[in-house]
Amino acid sequence: MEFGKKRSVRAALAFALFCALTPISAQGAEVNTPVPAPTNESSLAVVTPNEPAPAQPIKEARLVVATEVLTSGKLTALNLSSVARSAFLVQKAKTRNGARYVGELLAKENYGWSGAQWKCLDKLWIKESQWTYTSHNKRTGAHGIPQAHPATKYESIGSDWRKNPVTQILWGLKYIDVRYGTPCKALKTFYRIKMY
């Protein structure tokens, strides 16, 4: 990739991240207004004057990690929108209520857990950490929202687990899925032995 292209990619990525991290209230929206998920194609469609714009929304994209965009060398509107969404979710999840919002969103998107399963997950992680990503149990050494022990288990999702609550949430959801199948089964185990 030429130097000029690298510079423009970095500038575009920096702009997308800046927009994602700018407080929503400064952009004229409510603070708790959910941000729509990115689409699988660019929202910048080429439309001729006689052709109406597409009316159907396109499927939601999966969460893309910023490093995937940087290492792939491909800069698209989808990548930028995914990076912006990722940055928004990380920033939002740094508060308890924000972490609950992000946890509910990712549980539903990635595993289809909503309704009763969401309530079980919410109860479980309230008991474990109060949805606080900096939570640390001095007695056991467990850390983060799902209280991984040892905390280095989070590295299977990302090395940024100390500062990224989304990494912790994604690891916790995967752990519950693999080990228990559902949050309600994990919560039953927690009630029985005070851990899961």
Q: Are residues 119 and 166 in the same domain?
A: yes
Same-domain pairing of 121 and 192: yes
Residues 81 and 8 in one domain: yes
Same domain, 3 and 72: yes
Mean pLDDT of 95-105: 98
How many domains does the chain divide into? 2
Residues 125 and 167 in one domain: yes
Per-residue pLDDT tens digits for 29-82: 344 445 445 444 433 333 344 444 444 443 444 454 444 444 455 667 777 788
Q: Which of 76-80, 91-95, 142-146, 162-166 has the lowest average pLDDT?
A: 76-80
Mean pLDDT within 157-176: 97
- DSSP for 12-50, written as a single string: HHHHHHHHHHS-GGGGTS-TTPPPPPPBSS-S-----TT
C-beta of residue 111 within 8 angstroms of C-beta of residue 45: no
Same domain as 196, residue 103 = yes
Same structural domain, 32 and 58: yes
pLDDT for 132-160, tens place per residue? 999 999 999 999 999 999 999 999 999 99
Domain termination residue (choose one: 46, 69, 92): 92
By residue range, what is the domain housing residue 127? 96-196
User: Where residue 19 falls among pLDDT bands split at 50, 70, 90?
Assistant: low
Please say which residue of 44, 68, 92 terminates a domain. 92
Instruction: Tell whether 108 and 64 lie within a shared domain.
Output: no
Do 14 and 41 reside in the same domain of the chain? yes
Is the same domain home to 55 and 102?
no
- Higher pLDDT pick, 66 / 91: 91
